[in-house]
Structure 1
């Protein structure tokens, strides 16, 4: 959505049924569309690694860690929802706007760096995950035809490029406010493939087997040193943190909600519903996935071929992952697109290339499309770069863990807490101030150790890695 320069003072008629109180096009988001955005943002590729995370943490720490991350994310999201409007009623359109209004100073630069690097990293991880799912479909059909012992490896480069081409097209959607239909489809897909994974896990458990599980996760032994156990545990915490990563787009989601009832009320309801639904699926996927595979759970339980049959159902699950991540990529990338385009318009207000938009009627029966040459060039270039990086960094588990761990503390915990303290004028060293700071410090420590575990895993993977020659 265009900000600022699109409306002159004379044009801002707040009584106009088509405009909101800030003079911009009236927002139409509802509880349903907001919940869909949240579920699309939350239930992403993180759900696929939960069985592996539980295998590292065990029956006790696995479920407890999942619930703790869910509660913390919900609590800080409630605090963040109140930051959409400043006390004077002025809207904060983005996460950075909220930090600017409540904290200011160097906090804004730190927030911008953390948020935008996380958005880029999430887009890369979704590209990698989609390529793995495309490859899994090809391998599934190959195994079905030639047997489970056949050499069915495929390079991922072609699949990564195909996903990139699709995103170049989808990236021409003008802004976040036009993504409701895509989020609804993506949310349905996430439920579908999660349910298929659960069904396959239940079937595997019912058939019986000799999988080994433990209260403490994968045991230390000949195949796992105490140091490896520690690093894997840290990486598993990063995977769970990534599974709840959506705070970096919460304010942008809230900016799509219509003004009546108040946006923060709808946002809090949608946040509770989205996180609660996601947590139920996460717990089932983690528990049943661990019960089905034991300590040998694959890093991605739908592409790691813990399941082989029925091959058509595995193919369907991976198709759903692909469709879901096509939408999820946009949900996480549109805020970055909007930020860069707004900055460019402020820097070059007279540039026709940057500011001009035209409408194109492609199909007579459908609404006209908004076209911008600048949007086409810069967004396409961005997708090309993330696609290229995805071909260089095809490490699903460790990359997912690093993105989740690095962003969890600053975006999900630190800034929401600090903005709440500033907004509520909580006195320093008061009881509320102290326990909020303790929560922040504990989460900071978790983020540091989880990041370290994921970085160590990436280093181990790089030792045997050949750029552009990755097979799966």
Structure 2
């Protein structure tokens, strides 16, 4: 006997059952499981997402850019990324009754179901996994520096072991279910970022100009100067990466037609960008003024006194990147768990979360221990994926959706941002790859 046709009531019951299952899964997934965040959640998450490894390399980036180009790049990046962040926040609920809770969902709406995934997901994954790897390296190096300052006579310990210590904290924190559950960690991280940034430029100002300071380019060849310049562009791009998690952060906020989520989200973003500016500009300008082209790729390595203050700053950096790692890991956890539950039909629960997230932390730990090239990683990832997702992909989406009149202010602004972003995407990875190659020449694995 063949299958009997279902009655309309049975079909309705089946559809209802399927929608209930989908709703249950969405209530379990980390991005959509909680929507009770306040405006200041946006502020602390955005500060935590942006201020981190990037601010520590700003004086080094300035040394490769020079005073004029360096200041111009810092200011333009701050303005352009604030504009594209506003676009992302506005597009979160541009369709009445629907929320684009994930970056790739917005991409799918603009470019189509399949093409949107192919365009957005690989870039977003490169950014988020790249940040997690760099923060593993940053956390390990900060712990190592702290150990060497407070215990100068102790036995030398490899960087690899400090990265493992940092990763052990992430194994525990990665089990927190969603963005709102890590708000306490994120708040501590945001406070730490403001604190150590102030310590860095304050200690540098107290140290004064290190004569004979030089502000010329380090490289003696034109090719080397150009490649270092390109790498510095990637360093700056890396520092503005909050766009990759902004929709996911906004998804944690309640929203009604009368009070859409974009209002508190934008309020928090403005506060965050003011704080980001207070961190970025003093560190970059004071650090370069004091050390010139002799500054190291992590300015804390150029500071040694007062010992206790520099040790404290290194520990603050470690605490901050602990929180930053979680901010960037959460969208990856959401993607992993969505695929495992919806495509491979694994039952949602603690066991799945424990295995999947622990495997991700272990992967980033292994990669960080194997390739801890701090400066080169910043430049390479900054140009390759941060430039598209931060500088020009939001502008392309805006043009596709709102279709501003040709040669209007909006049209011109977006095309300028697209042009700058494309140039950054092409040029910065070249310089970053060169930095990695130069560093790797004298590197011993797991040293």
TM-score by length of 2: 0.89
Q: How does 1:408-423 map to 2 (within 5 A)?
A: 408-423=386-401
Match of 1:133 in 2: 142
Say which of 393, 402, 425 aligns to 1:447. 425
SS at match of 1:179: helix
Mapped to 1, the partners of 2:386 and 2:131 lie a distance apart of 13
Please give the per-residue CA displacement for 1:175-214, whole angstroms capped at 9, x wherever unaligned. Answer: 2231211111110011111111111111111xx5414243
Mapped to 1, the partners of 2:178 and 2:401 lie a distance apart of 29
Say which of 164, 169, 184 aligns to 1:166. 169
Distance 1:68 1:429, change over 3 A: closer
Please give the per-residue CA displacement for 1:353-387, whole angstroms capped at 9, x wherever unaligned. Answer: x32x3xxxxxxxxxxxxxx1011011111111111
Q: How does 1:393-404 map to 2 (within 5 A)?
A: 393-404=371-382
Mapped to 2, the partners of 1:434 and 1:264 lie a distance apart of 24
1:94 aligns with 2:102: yes
Please give the per-residue CA displacement for 1:132-175, whole angstroms capped at 9, x wherever unaligned. Answer: 101101221344x59xxxxx754101111111111111100112
Mapped to 1, the partners of 2:398 and 2:270 lie a distance apart of 18
Say which of 319, 322, 327 aligns to 2:318. 322
Mapped to 2, the partners of 1:85 and 1:334 lie a distance apart of 21
Q: 1:392: Cα distance to partner?
A: 0.9
Match of 1:311 in 2: 307
Q: 1:310: Cα distance to partner?
A: 1.7
Say which of 101, 104, 119 aligns to 1:110. 119
In 2, are the aligned partners of 1:67 and 1:279 still within 8 Å (CA)? no
Q: 1:394: Cα distance to partner?
A: 0.7
5+ residue gaps in structure 2? Answer: 1-15
CA RMSD of aligned residues (A): 2.4
Match of 2:354 in 1: 376
Please give the per-residue CA displacement for 1:423-456, whole angstroms capped at 9, x wherever unaligned. Answer: 2133567774455234312221122111110011
Match of 1:340 in 2: 336
Mapped to 1, the partners of 2:59 and 2:294 lie a distance apart of 9
Mapped to 1, the partners of 2:133 and 2:336 lie a distance apart of 18
5+ residue gaps in structure 1? Answer: 13-18, 147-151, 358-371
Higher helix share: 2
In 1, are the aligned partners of 2:388 and 2:421 still within 8 Å (CA)? no
Say which of 178, 182, 187 aligns to 1:179. 182
Please give the per-residue CA displacement for 1:306-354, whole angstroms capped at 9, x wherever unaligned. Answer: 22222111111111111111111000001000111011111233x4xx3
In 1, are the aligned partners of 2:129 and 2:329 still within 8 Å (CA)? yes
Match of 1:190 in 2: 193
1:257 aligns with 2:277: no
Distance 1:11 1:384, change over 3 A: closer
Match of 1:368 in 2: none
1:425 aligns with 2:421: no
